[in-house]
Amino acid sequence: MRSWFTARLPLAELEAAIRHKTVPQHRHSIWYYLGGMTLFFFLVQVVTGILLLLYYRPSSAEAYDSVQFIMTRVPFGWLVRSIHSWSANLMVGAAFAHLFSVLFLKAYRRPREVVWISGVMLLFLSLGFGFTGYLLPWNEVAFFATRVGTDIAGAVPYAGDTIVRLLRGGPDVTGATLTRFYGVHVAVLPAITTALLGLHLLLVQYHGMSVPPSVEERAKRENRPVPTMPFVPHFALRDLFGWTVALALLAGLSAFLPWELGHKADPFASAPAGIAPEWYFLWTFQALKYMPAHVLGIDGELIAIGAMSLGAMALVLLPFIDRNTARSRTIVTWAAIAAIAFMTTMTVLALTGGH
Amino acid sequence: MPIRGHVPQSDQPAGRRSVLNWLLGTWSAGVLGAIAFPVLRYLVPPDIPEAPTLSVKGGAASTLAPNSARIVPFGSTPALVIRTAAGDLKAFDGTCTHLACTVQYRADLEHIWCACHNGHYDLNGKNISGPPPRPLAEYDAHVQGDEIVLSRKA
Amino acid sequence: MTGAWRIGSVAIACGLLAGSITLRAAGAPGPQAPAPAVKPAAEAFSDDVHAKAGLTCESCHGPKKADGGYAAIARVAIAPLCARCHADAAYMRKFAPQVRVDQYAQYQTSVHGQQMAKGETRVATCNDCHQSHGIVPVRDTRSPVAPAHVAITCARCHADPARMAPFNRSPEIFNEWSKSVHADALLKRGDRSAPTCSTCHGSHGATPPGADSVANVCAQCHVREAELFKKSRKAEVFAALGQADCLVCHSNHHIAPPQASWIGLDDKALCATCHDESVAGAAVIKSVRKGFDEVLAAIASAGQVLDRAETAGMLVEDGKLALHTASEAHVRMRVLVHTFTAPPFDDVVKEGLAAAGEAQAVGDAAMDELQYRRRGLAVATLVILGFLATLYIKIRRLPKVA
């Protein structure tokens, strides 16, 4: 039976490759699990997303009612929907944690630059998933958050209005926006993500796990190779352990902190007080609030967007900016700490109603 | 560069290992079952296939005589389904726009009336007399077979 | 005195009289009611509906006097002056084809009109309510006789003890009305259909409705209650007693939200004003009260459990619909009280209890479902924990790596 498959598919080669894969073991090995954790949450999103697709209706007249239908009448619909919403947030959190752990452990160094770039792109894609998916229930909070969020793109000079029109499918947030966001959320982003994720994972297998500079130098000093553990079964079973804990966490959150639906969106009503985007956008939202209206004659919002775009570009090109000297790596570490401090402070300020 | 390690054979007695593996297998089956059960139940569509806030059944068409009406629930509010004297089918949100009482059809007046404060609406839902400040929202009413189906106006 | 002196002194007396009447006509308001902004007449007239129709100062005041001013109009002459046009159907048709022309005729039947005809000038006439120079249509929200302002306009005199004393009328009515459900509806909720002074008393024909017509006045909106009351035993009893129907229980101006506690034979109840245990209807009174208490309690309890379920994240639309039905049954019960018999009332009590019971059931089911989900989660978590424990042992027992 087995031989029928091995004659037609490269199973033997795959099995050999997996059996030979090892994972370095050292003080910082714990961070290696974050990538897989992000992947786990993504897979949960794919499964629950497909299930939701079976009952969801992407039109402004029916979207809200269909989500309510899922939550009240479809057996375990409440569970699928709550898991989808919670897992989205946990995925973005894990992605950020994964990014920063890779950054601090300098795993973006040669020859892993392409892995890094594809990873940063995947982070941006997950933010895109979050932004587009948020609108789909067509409730009050999502409608106004989307309006505010897409407004910001209008600050870009010359192309601003066109960008906003492209995003919204029109000058305002309407049913056309919902349809567009739906198409992006279930087709465009998944297609791009599948390709990039495939590349990312393939390259990780090809290059193996990176060892942080400090561990490398210590091994060189003591003239000992870095200890490793086999991927199968040692690392894989630990990975499975983490994934199962995450699954239990998702189930618990869904039962005790179910995701709210709120009120149906009414485009003609005025925005309720306290509209804010999801937590992973809060820091940008708050930072924009602090920008003065004009700085040296240039629109304050535009400066903030420019700064964030520069930051994003620096992030993407990090492997080329860091010269891989001890000093250069230290600068990157401290820059990352400063960035985390800034983002955390902005988020806390946003949550505590600071202005 | 990936560093290859040497993996020795397991040094446990064979029996212990297989008991553990069996336990692991059983528990994993349990976990997979705990995942599969909700997913499979989810896939089976519920008895009411569509949200009752998008379209509802308005009862049998043949039993609704001309110049009479009935009240059916639509979402969480009542809907008034009328068969006019001329035989046309009309349906409205049955919540009076004055103070939210449920309106009724008056066969003697051949239009809609609210008993609470003597509000009157015509057969287009327009408020024609009394306190109501706005017309009644109209629903689409179609007949499928012998069943009246109400849906929100597009 | 010589003839010249006589004429002169009469002229001076007339002038003084005219002056004092003019001052009176300007209508200095009482201390309680808000004073209208007093603009110079010419300025106010520029915004006047009569100016827009092409009328001028001369149209009402006659030609300009030698000193450049216009003659004041005596108070008793005001209504006939306005009626010159406003009672002329052919004339008014030119400006507003559908407008009524019976205002003066109505005024003459009113208490104000009758007093004015006798020469008593301390009562209202046209310009006291409509103003003299900045007259805007009733529909205009600035008008002192727009629905939201009518009561305040009437209160300028009717809430002033000094003005009411000579006529032996209570100045408390405006305060009483202000506490009523009608004032609440009109002023707080902005419901322009809610009754104000003129709705029940008439505007031009303002007269307190007599005891036998009160029920008809209330029946303008409260049709069902009036119908049922007229068919009930109370109608003839009250007629025989000479009591105004609705007022006995509901009062005329301070109309408060009706309470279930009004019904009963205890001291606080209204029925006890006339009835006691010995009367044949005592059983009905008690059963009606019991019906209210039971339905209200059922609605409150169902409402509570539905709220709890919703706060816990359960969606309970069916339950809310049933609760809405139960609340409507309660409203119908309040209407059917006016039959003062058990049969139709008891049926609605049963309906209300059934609907509230349904709402309660939905709420309870939602809470049960919540418990089921948490129990299901507990089971799933136990299975996962068992798996994790076994996996942990497996990981620990994996062969050590060099």
The whole-chain average pLDDT of chain B stands at 86
Domain finish residue from C131, C146, C161: C146
Comparing CA positions, the residue from A344, A341, A168, A354 lying closest to residue A276 is A354
Q: For residue C30, is pLDDT > 50?
A: no
**Contacting partners of chain B (3+ CB pairs under 8 A):** A, C
Q: pLDDT tens digits for C331-387?
A: 999 999 999 998 889 999 999 999 999 999 999 999 998 888 889 888 999 999 999
Chain B residue whose CA is closest to A73: B46
CB contact (8 A) between residue A74 and residue B154:
no
Q: Is the ipTM of this structure higher than 0.90?
A: no
Q: What is the pLDDT of residue C293?
A: 95
Kind of pairing between the strands at B104-106 and B127-129: unpaired
Q: What is the pLDDT of residue B10?
A: 52
Residues of A in Cβ contact (< 8 Å) with C377: 251-252, 254-256
Distance of alpha carbon C395 from alpha carbon C190, whole angstroms: 72
Q: pLDDT tens digits for C137-178?
A: 888 888 999 989 999 999 999 999 999 999 999 999 999 999
Of A243-247, C32-36, C240-244, give the lowest mean pLDDT range: C32-36
Tokens 């995701």 sit on residue = A259
CB contact (8 A) between residue A244 and residue C388:
yes
Kind of pairing between the strands at B111-114 and A228-230: unpaired
* pTM to 2 decimal places: 0.72
Tell me the domain boundaries of chain B. 14-44, 55-152
Residue A167 structure tokens: 């995003």
Tokens 């409203």 sit on residue = C331
**Which of C221, C393, C400 is opposite residue B118, by nearest beta carbon?**
C221
**Which of A25, A241, A258 is opposite residue C388, by nearest beta carbon?**
A241
Distance to chain A for C375, nearest Cα, Å: 10
Distance of alpha carbon B82 from alpha carbon B87, whole angstroms: 9
Residue A277 structure tokens: 């985007």
Of A130-139, C249-258, C313-322, give the lowest mean pLDDT range: C313-322
Comparing CA positions, the residue from B49, B60, B70, B47 lying closest to residue B145 is B60
**With bands split at pLDDT 50, 70 and 90, how would you rate the model's confidence at A122?**
very high
CB contact (8 A) between residue A208 and residue B1:
yes
Distance of alpha carbon C90 from alpha carbon C198, whole angstroms: 27
Residues of A in Cβ contact (< 8 Å) with C367: none
Q: For residue A245, is pLDDT > 50?
A: yes
Distance to chain B for C202, nearest Cα, Å: 17
Kindly state the DSSP code that residue A279 receives in the 8-state scheme. Answer: G
Domain finish residue from C146, C175, C196: C146
To the nearest whole percent, how much of chain A has pLDDT over 70? 99
The whole-chain average pLDDT of chain A stands at 91
To the nearest whole percent, how much of chain C has pLDDT over 90? 47
Phi-psi region of A106 (alpha: psi -120 to 50; beta: other; left: phi over 0): left
Tell me how crowded residue C130 is: count the other CB atoms within 10 A of its CB: 17
Q: How many Cβ pairs closer than 8 A exist between chain A and B?
A: 62
Mean of pLDDT values over C129-134:
90
Comparison of pLDDT for A122 and C234, the residue scoring more: A122
Q: Which helix (H) or strand (E) holds C274?
A: none
**Which of B6, B23, B101 is opposite residue C331, by nearest beta carbon?**
B101
Residue A254 contacts residue A78 (beta carbons within 8 Å): yes
Mean of pLDDT values over C186-203:
89
Residues of B in Cβ contact (< 8 Å) with C380: 34
Tokens 């296939």 sit on residue = B49
Tokens 């409509």 sit on residue = C130
The CATH number of the domain holding residue C338 is: 1.20.140
CB contact (8 A) between residue B42 and residue A77:
yes
Residues of C in Cβ contact (< 8 Å) with B17: 397
CB-based contact, C386 to chain B, within 8 Å: yes
**Domain encompassing residue C142:** 19-146
Comparison of pLDDT for A275 and A20, the residue scoring more: A20
- What type of residue is C181? V
Residues of A in Cβ contact (< 8 Å) with C402: 227
Burial category of A207 from C-beta neighbours within 10 Å (exposed 0-12, middle 13-18, buried 19 and up): middle
CB-based contact, C381 to chain A, within 8 Å: yes
For domain A23-263+277-351, give the CATH superfamily: Cytochrome Bc1 Complex; Chain C (1.20.810.10)
C355 Cβ neighbours under 8 A, 6+ residues apart: C322, C323, C325, C326, C329
Q: For residue A39, is pLDDT > 60?
A: yes
**With bands split at pLDDT 50, 70 and 90, how would you rate the model's confidence at C123?**
very high
- What type of residue is A19? R
Q: For residue B49, is pLDDT > 80?
A: no
Mean of pLDDT values over B60-75:
90
> Is C56 contained in some domain?
yes
Residue A86 contacts residue A259 (beta carbons within 8 Å): yes
Domain finish residue from C109, C127, C146: C146
**Which of C193, C379, C394 is opposite residue B24, by nearest beta carbon?**
C394
Q: What is the pLDDT of residue C6?
A: 55
What is the helix, strand, coil percentage profile of chain C, to 5? 60, 0, 40
Q: For residue B37, is pLDDT > 50?
A: yes
CA C73, C77, C79, C83 torsion: positive or negative? negative
CB-based contact, B25 to chain C, within 8 Å: no
CB contact (8 A) between residue C401 and residue A252:
no
Tell me how crowded residue B148 is: count the other CB atoms within 10 A of its CB: 24
CB-based contact, B144 to chain C, within 8 Å: no
Query: What residues of chain A have any CB closer than 8 angstroms to a CB in chain B?
Result: 20-22, 24, 47, 51, 54, 61-62, 65-66, 68-69, 73-77, 79-80, 208-209, 225-230, 244, 247
Structural fold of domain B55-152: Rieske Iron-sulfur Protein (2.102.10)
Residues of A in Cβ contact (< 8 Å) with C394: 237
Tell me the domain boundaries of chain A. 23-263+277-351
Q: For residue A287, is pLDDT > 50?
A: yes
CB-based contact, A68 to chain C, within 8 Å: yes
**Contacting partners of chain C (3+ CB pairs under 8 A):** A, B
Distance to chain A for C366, nearest Cα, Å: 10
**Interface subset of A 254-283, CB within 8 angstroms of C:** 254-256, 258, 260-261
Q: What is the pLDDT of residue C9?
A: 52
Mean of pLDDT values over A277-286:
87
Residues of C in Cβ contact (< 8 Å) with B33: 383
**With bands split at pLDDT 50, 70 and 90, how would you rate the model's confidence at C37?**
low
What are C27's strand-pairing partners?
Answer: none
Residues of B in Cβ contact (< 8 Å) with A66: 51, 54
To the nearest whole percent, how much of chain B has pLDDT over 70? 88
Q: What is the pLDDT of residue C25?
A: 41
Of A275-279, A316-320, B110-114, C283-287, give the lowest mean pLDDT range: A275-279
Comparison of pLDDT for B45 and A86, the residue scoring more: A86
Distance to chain B for A205, nearest Cα, Å: 10
Q: For residue A75, is pLDDT > 60?
A: yes
**With bands split at pLDDT 50, 70 and 90, how would you rate the model's confidence at C203?**
confident
Q: What is the pLDDT of residue A202?
A: 94
